[in-house]
Amino acid sequence: MAETSIGVLPLHYNLLVLIYDTGANVLSFGDKQFYVMEDFKLDKETMKRYDVQNHSHPGIRPRWAKVLAVCEGAEDVGVKIGSKVLLEQLEWSRPIIYNESRQKCWKIPLEKVLLVDNEGFNEKELELIEYAEKNPDVFTVQRTQQMYS
From CA 79, how far away is CA 90, in angstroms rounded?
20
Q: What is the pLDDT along the chain (149 residues), one digit of tens a residue?
A: 788 889 888 988 999 999 987 665 555 667 766 555 554 444 455 545 555 555 555 566 788 999 999 999 999 999 999 999 999 988 999 989 988 888 899 999 999 999 999 999 999 889 888 888 887 776 554 444 444 44
What b-and-e string marks burial along 60-72, b requiring 16 or more CB atoms within 10 Å of the CB?
A: bebbbbbbbbbbe
From CA 116, how far away is CA 8, in angstroms rounded?
22
HSE at residue 40, side-chain half, CA atoms within 13 A, is 12
> What does the pLDDT read at residue 51?
52
Q: Give yes or no for a contact between 139 and 145, defined as CB atoms under 8 angstroms apart.
A: no
> What does the pLDDT read at residue 148?
41
Rg (CA), the chain: 16
The domains of the chain are located at 3-22+61-146
CATH dotted code for 3-22+61-146? 2.30.33.40
- Bridge partners for 38 per DSSP: none
CA-to-CA dists, residue 17 to 11, 34, 55, angstroms = 13, 25, 23
From CA 91, how far away is CA 84, in angstroms rounded?
17
> What does the pLDDT read at residue 134?
83
> What does the pLDDT read at residue 44?
53
Q: Give yes or no for a contact between 61 and 89, defined as CB atoms under 8 angstroms apart.
A: yes
